[in-house]
Amino acid sequence: MSAYGNAFYFTMNENSPIGVFDSGIGGLTVLRELLAELPDEDFIYFADSKNAPYGPRTVEDVTALSSKIVQFLVDKGCKIVVIACNTATAAAVYSMRKEFKVPIVGLEPAVKPACLKTRTRHVGVLATEGTFRGAHFKNTSDKYRKYVSLHLEIAKELVELAERGVFSGDDVDAVIQKYIDPLKQCNVDHIVLGCTHYPFFRPVIERIAGDGVKIIDSSEAIARRTKDILMTTNMMRTENPNRTVRLYSSDSPEKLSLIANAYLDEKVTVEGNVNL
């Protein structure tokens, strides 16, 4: 149990902020949906860009990093924490829920809606190796494997490009083409973006995949799930004319600030080189 323990519940109230974290800047795609879904909430976002990417790391390593970040967010008074990272969810969501009393919301690739909507019975999934190894992905995908063929691509280069702030151009087209072509050859009609970094590339992915392929991710669903938890626990804030969005990074703040200010329709403050 977190050292913060039961004291959390005596100080937490509906005016407390929502915590969000990712291995880097990818979780901004989730944060944007949360900002739209919950317009009266304050947010604290942590980007662990210094340790990105999480995909190749061991479960133990990702769990240890996640624990430090959740503790950081709890110490900031967050009333709920959203793990805006598929790899961290796969590795650590269950242990985080045991360690901390704050509600923990995890991500999982949107395999279920893709399997329910597919007409060709072939679904492509782009994700990291950490996500594919996780119980979340296995448990969900196993339910549909009898009826739907899942075609998996480990698109680790997209995480690296996103962390460098490169979202378009010939190099991006070439990388995405490499991942999409095998999926199109398998007659997929849905492609699941199983990493929060990937929606940055959605326009390029949609162009290369073509009109007959639907691209889906989990951002909207996780925002609705977070709202539902806050509403049903009477913890949702309903009035806040001057909300704050504070961003922290374990790396230098310049990249996070540049991308966040361009991507989020919100005034944010950014602090970098945070040691946990």
- Exactly one of 78, 85, 115, 186 is catalytic; name it: 85
Comparing CA positions, the residue from 10, 125, 13, 24 lying closest to residue 69 is: 24
CA atoms of 134 and 89, how far apart (whole Å): 8
- Exactly one of 78, 115, 186, 195 is catalytic; name it: 195
| CA pseudo-torsion sign 252, 22, 195, 82 | negative
AA identity, residue 100: F
- Per the annotation, the verdict on 186 as an active-site residue is no
- Per the annotation, the verdict on 115 as an active-site residue is no
CA atoms of 177 and 208, how far apart (whole Å): 7
CA atoms of 6 and 196, how far apart (whole Å): 32
Spacing of C-alpha 235 from chain mean position: 22
Structure tokens at 65: 């990093």
Structure tokens at 152: 């998996």
How many CB atoms lie under 10 A from the CB of residue 234?
8
Q: How many CA atoms does the CB half-sphere of 176 hold within 13 Å?
A: 25
Could you tell me how many residues make up the chain?
Answer: 276
CA atoms of 168 and 247, how far apart (whole Å): 24
CA atoms of 12 and 110, how far apart (whole Å): 31
CA atoms of 69 and 248, how far apart (whole Å): 11
CA atoms of 103 and 78, how far apart (whole Å): 10
Structure tokens at 197: 């970094």
Q: So which residues are the catalytic ones?
A: 85, 195
